[in-house]
Structure 1
């Protein structure tokens, strides 16, 4: 970049992001463009299909033959997994899954197909299994029950497919974390930020004290949110927590008793009375404000 007045070089490494070619219709645009769609395991051939175009000196017949050969080769490799990839994309919209999660699910399904693990098995069960595995691997709070219900399958069937994949593919799938379910539960009940923050703090203490071992993570999360509500002066029943977490009241009650015995005292000591009173005051003001802005029915 040079100044037109004095000739001073202002920038010697400026990048020009404009096209270095022109196109007069859509076909020419596609033919001349250097860049294409992003690579993604969610699309057939990873979204890298190649268009064979008629060039100078090539006969139309030979080009058509090449196109047919290319299509046959691509179809033979991808035709078995395209329906599954479509189901993964559809599930992503309904279950509100992030891009990272659905791409991981698609990658896992491709791995399973390549290893010959999907043949003779229910496609829906295998798709549900890879989605659940991907949720676990990317810390997305979805339960096996929730995913099974979406596909109208028995939880046991999806669980069997999940364990089969886990064993055969030898992939690392971390156990679900109770903390990942806290904000999901809190948002369903329109709880203030303080309740979720303290629930996570309670869970960390409970983990340290061994109170979460062998317990269903979502049940622990529900009980921790309930305890935080109790201590911060937020009126929520165990039934409400159970419904928000999609667990039974008995589960919430039992996990809450365990947290009372093995986490509450340490949490109160860690947070301190002064900080707790400050949080209670802040929550009280938040609740008053939220009630004041509610529309009159």
Structure 2
């Protein structure tokens, strides 16, 4: 919260937020602060506490703030990279997964990153968790991710969690 407040004060001092959606600006400050403090949240999560600001409004506000602060500071604003593992524990907790399942999911995410499968971090989580509600990923995206990642299942899913025979029983996409 302190970091978000600091970002807001900087942007407020520039007097360039007049007439803009205040709820979206505040939510964007929180989103940026979470990213900078290595506690990333999805825009959807931020949206749920943003007094009605939409994902689109928050996204626009974030871009505006980043651009304004980069001009002010004369350098690019670092927000860190998002990885699937950043969200994994929280999403698994929402699903009520066992510690063994969470550990397997963490190994699967790590292996998928080693394989350099270039998919959205949420898509990797979908392979691990399969649940649309916990991740906020559309069902179509889940189906497409499953199709794309299915060929890698034996290399991603830890053998301590699922044996080769178990993987053979996975539905083919």
TM range (shorter): 0.7 to 0.9
Task: Give 1:244's aligned residue.
Answer: 134
Instruction: Structure 2: give runs of 5+ residues left out of the alignment.
Output: 71-76, 164-173
Q: Which has the higher contact order (CA 8 A, sep 6+)?
A: 2
How many residue pairs get aligned? The number is: 156
Specify the alignment match of 1:167 in structure 2: 67
For the pair shown, the structure with the greater C-alpha radius of gyration is: 1
Provide the C-alpha distance between the structure 2 equivalents of 1:250 and 1:134, rounded to a whole number of angstroms: 31
Matches within 5 A, 1:127-206: 127-150=26-49, 151-170=51-70, 171-206=77-112
Are 2:126 and 1:222 aligned?
yes
Contact 2:109 2:156 in 1 (8 A): no
CA distance in 2, matches of 1:163, 1:118: 13
Structure 2 matches for 1:1-297, cutoff 5 A? 102-150=1-49, 151-170=51-70, 171-213=77-119, 215=120, 217-226=121-130, 241-262=131-152, 264-267=153-156, 271=158, 273=159, 275-276=160-161
Q: Give TM-score scaled by structure 1 length.
A: 0.48
Distance 1:149 1:276, change over 3 A: closer
Compute the displacement of 1:260 (Å): 2.2
Hey, which bits of structure 1, 4+ residues long, moved more than 6 A?
none
Cα pair 2:24 2:54 within 8 Å, conserved: no
> Shift of the alpha carbon at 1:130?
0.6
- Structure 1 unaligned spans of 5+: 1-101, 227-240, 279-297
Q: CA RMSD in A?
A: 2.2
